[in-house]
Structure 1
């Protein structure tokens, strides 16, 4: 626009250097440009232009147009009449005259609107503050009595029309209702803005109301979570918890604790580390005087089961979640039941009771459909998608993934948009398309950069695919090529630690993979899945002694330190490969027992029968290894798991060579 204004000024013989200022004054409107140039290049000149157009119009014009300016873009005639306090015929005469003077244009309804925002701005800015507030208050009263008015309009005029502290409660109430309406329409960012305005007005109340502040902060945190503002949501919840503790209000403290855990339900693939404080807060609320039949107790128990699952046996966490479901059923509340079932389903993923998990996912979907809660249905459908993928039903899984992507966009929930993109990335990886997996992981991170926990977990997830891609390139084992090792022992290692027959670029890729693992562990010290990946890179580089030392700590006491992470994403595949490469028969025997119930399925991203075939061969049972290999080959062909083809071929060659 500035360039167009510059050209206009040049043609008019004015100084083109004034283009920015003149554009700001007139928004580039040719009529106002010409008039301001004629009268003088100042804001006062623009005001003179507008008031000059009002000269000769009927008495009361300025009053009516001022009310119209405060009403916004569209001014209904009935509201103008009510607020201006003039007869309807007189208001219509004024509107007709203003249309003739090219200040207004007729709208629908009947209504009118200004020919340009400049006119409206001039009239608004001329109003003294007290007069403006009084008019806003009268507009709010008129809109309250008018059916079909949007809550956000009434809320706006209530806020702008605050004349005394008694009116603040009404303004807060309408603003909160407007936020709820925005949430129902998936306008989560608007809800955040409305609730922020409501909280800002609490200090205008006749007396302090910390309970109301608590409730508004809880609403704000929920809206911020839905909008993907995880860090801001955590700050709101922290403020809520502090107020609730000061008030001794266990119920509100429980809601705050649940608010902290709610994002975990909506984005189920965050790295479950660094949440000790959250787990402690939930445990503290559970130990409080909160009544046993409180609607919050079942949800708190489910949250405790989930957040503490990495530090207790998963079976105990499943028991806790099951008890939470029982309490929720007794309460008869669908929202509570859905939250407890979601926690239970997540915990069941590391077990082998697939029938129970499938039933739980189906019940979540049914609750969502019964309650008309598309977000709950989405979570249940995502659970079903994971189960279909694990069972190798590629066609049905692909159809459901399309639904998940489309519905996430419709819901406008960043956590779900991100999760749908993440599942797209996993699907691309399993199909052997590393570049597509990385691209989809980038989309996932961009959709929800803060992650559910307000951290950089999205980038950590993406880097997993980069590591696996680097490792595949370093081994020359992209799908369609033969992976160089899977025989149960380290082969082709040079005495100095290098790898025989490997091109310098390939060794470089493997070195990059190790450097990436070190970088990720610097960001998340001790994170076990990245320690597993680091062991793989060390083995690939011939640094087996170092890999053996680190792996011994992970495998100690039957992989007790791994907990549910032993069934996580790539971990079963990677750990079985490490056992085979290091010749660790004891660890391999324990791992075989843990993985055997999952035969015939994917476990995370891992082809369970491929893992079992490696481990059977490691234990010296060649026939069992061949049985598992045939099952793995059949499953991979059915499910389109091209990423596992190099390992399947390599293991097949090993079995053939050892059988001769």
Structure 2
């Protein structure tokens, strides 16, 4: 029985030679035990010199009552027996479970092999084992840095943030700023979306980076810390983001450092030339992650310019690269962008399928953006196809998850069900809208709620807020995730509410033109109809359009 248990610890399938070397008995004893296992129907022989358990349950039963101490010793014997072979993955596995310091080297080697075939999740698991078997502070932080990079590549950005937090706090507990710097500069991979939950800032992280940036640092180190700082505050109304990114670009001495700074500046400035340079760096220096980042930024620029053709082209290219290199989060982000284009064009069934597929990918990978996004995207389909009122319970649940950013959406769903008093209560204390990539989207939702509830007092201010965006794309299109009809259409509705008939006609005409550019015939038809009729939405109707 001890030999069968050793075989069970070795795995579902194992080499007879390895078992002979690892066993605490002679070769005849091993062969007798294995022969008995074959005769009893517990084992079969898939090839010369190999044995395999006929069912995983048999193997699980044999190791179920083994103590951790005995199991670890068996793993150690199996690992020693594997020494000299080229089975790096098996050596890493067994040494890690033996709790041996030798696990670190083998786990790192196995992780590198996994990364070479773009098996980023496998690499992350191996590096987790390496961290667990590390023996000193410097080695531990270096391994945590390797781990977080593998997690980012696997799309597990939430886990990567946690790994970095662990490394930073560990370094802080030791009073080692050098290790804290190593932890921060280990994050060398850009993410397709922000590496934190929307609307949040990790102030302890920002404060630590601010303190470290006051030190006398080598240019390359300062460059990395500056990009880390800018990434943590990207999307916030903070002038130091641009300052940090520009300084990082000035300090950059190599393609990776330059690309890291460029991807922040490209987002801030919305500059097509910066996007193209980012793609060129990624192509010339074999940095596919920056090619994808540059293409995503270029899609944002194209959306802002009412150029959905270019937007579709660059997103399709980004998706192809992301699939080639198994970039899970980038795959999901590009699929979401394609879903938003389908939504704009009125292909609601296609949009729903793409959103569902992308959400599954984000959840499987461990994206920080999985919570709530799918339901927000689905709500945009319901709002655009006029069925929001039929999903009031879903919208209430979404509001409970995402809070004030969906208050106006909930008000619209309540209004569609004739619950105007509750809708007004939900909107009683509207929160400020962040001036980021969701600004026109959330402001349009607010304006739609104002129109639906006939709130003339609030209409004037929201009209002035949206007016600078009257020639822009469908609301939210630059977020590459969700969208509503052109801002000009909403301005037309607000103008009607305010009694500005001529202005309303101008806005609706512009909305029709923009809708045509985006291949959105449903929006174009509605806008052209409103240029002549301009009625207000009927209170209590099932439609919120």
In the other structure, the counterpart of 2:540 is none
In the other structure, the counterpart of 1:220 is 147
In the other structure, the counterpart of 1:368 is 282
Aligned to 1:312, what secondary structure does the other structure show?
coil
User: TM-score, structure 2 length as denominator?
Assistant: 0.73
State the Cα deviation string for residues 7-43 of structure 1 (Å, max 9, x = none).
xxxxxxxxxxxxxxxxxxxxxxxxxxxxxxxxxxxx6
Matches within 5 A, 1:407-426: 407-426=321-340
Matches within 5 A, 1:233-272: 233-257=160-184, 265-268=191-194, 271-272=197-198
Matches within 5 A, 1:462-541: 462-472=374-384, 478=386, 510=389, 512-513=391-392, 515-527=393-405, 530-540=406-416, 541=418
Q: Higher RCO, 1 or 2 (CA under 8 Å, sep at least 6)?
A: 2
Residue 187 of structure 1 and its aligned partner are, at CA, apart by 0.9
Residue 569 of structure 1 and its aligned partner are, at CA, apart by 6.4
In the other structure, the counterpart of 1:630 is 509
In the other structure, the counterpart of 2:445 is 574
Match of 1:391 among 305, 308, 315: 305
* 1:321–1:521 Cα change, 3 Å: farther
CA contact (8 A) 1:250 1:290 kept: no
CA contact (8 A) 1:267 1:452 kept: no
Match of 2:315 among 395, 401, 404: 401
CA contact (8 A) 1:404 1:420 kept: yes
CA contact (8 A) 1:321 1:343 kept: yes
Q: Does 1:280 align with 2:204?
A: yes
Distance 2:80 2:422 in 1: 78
Residue 647 of structure 1 and its aligned partner are, at CA, apart by 4.3
Residue 186 of structure 1 and its aligned partner are, at CA, apart by 0.9
Residue 587 of structure 1 and its aligned partner are, at CA, apart by 0.8
CA contact (8 A) 1:258 1:299 kept: yes
In the other structure, the counterpart of 1:562 is 433
Distance 2:464 2:242 in 1: 22
CA contact (8 A) 2:372 2:402 kept: no
Residue 375 of structure 1 and its aligned partner are, at CA, apart by 1.8
Distance 2:428 2:267 in 1: 27
Residue 269 of structure 1 and its aligned partner are, at CA, apart by 9.1
CA contact (8 A) 2:355 2:374 kept: yes
Distance 2:491 2:14 in 1: 70
* 1:366–1:551 Cα change, 3 Å: farther
Matches within 5 A, 1:583-602: 583=456, 584-596=458-470, 598=472
Q: Does 1:458 align with 2:370?
A: yes
User: TM-score, structure 1 length as denominator?
Assistant: 0.62
Distance 1:129 1:247 in 2: 30
CA contact (8 A) 2:107 2:129 kept: yes
CA contact (8 A) 2:443 2:462 kept: no
CA contact (8 A) 1:254 1:282 kept: no
Matches within 5 A, 1:436-451: 436-449=350-363
Unaligned ranges ≥5, structure 2: 23-42, 64-70, 537-545
Q: How many residues align?
A: 498
* 1:620–1:224 Cα change, 3 Å: same
Q: Does 1:338 align with 2:259?
A: yes
Matches within 5 A, 1:152-167: 152=89, 155=92
* 1:362–1:430 Cα change, 3 Å: same
In the other structure, the counterpart of 2:273 is 359
Distance 1:521 1:129 in 2: 49
Matches within 5 A, 1:50-69: none
Residue 413 of structure 1 and its aligned partner are, at CA, apart by 2.7
Residue 262 of structure 1 and its aligned partner are, at CA, apart by 6.3
Aligned to 1:632, what secondary structure does the other structure show?
helix
CA contact (8 A) 1:444 1:458 kept: no
Residue 617 of structure 1 and its aligned partner are, at CA, apart by 5.4
Give the aligned CA root-mean-square deviation in angstroms: 4.8
* 1:226–1:521 Cα change, 3 Å: same
Match of 2:223 among 298, 301, 304: 298
CA contact (8 A) 1:408 1:416 kept: yes
Distance 1:463 1:429 in 2: 14
Q: Does 1:198 align with 2:134?
A: no
Residue 524 of structure 1 and its aligned partner are, at CA, apart by 3.0
Distance 2:363 2:400 in 1: 20
Aligned to 1:525, what secondary structure does the other structure show?
helix
Aligned to 2:109, what secondary structure does the other structure show?
helix
Residue 416 of structure 1 and its aligned partner are, at CA, apart by 1.6
More off after superposition, 619-628 vs 423-432: 619-628
* 1:72–1:596 Cα change, 3 Å: closer
Q: Does 1:325 align with 2:249?
A: yes
CA contact (8 A) 2:153 2:328 kept: yes
Residue 447 of structure 1 and its aligned partner are, at CA, apart by 0.6
Match of 1:543 among 402, 412, 420: 420
* 1:268–1:427 Cα change, 3 Å: farther
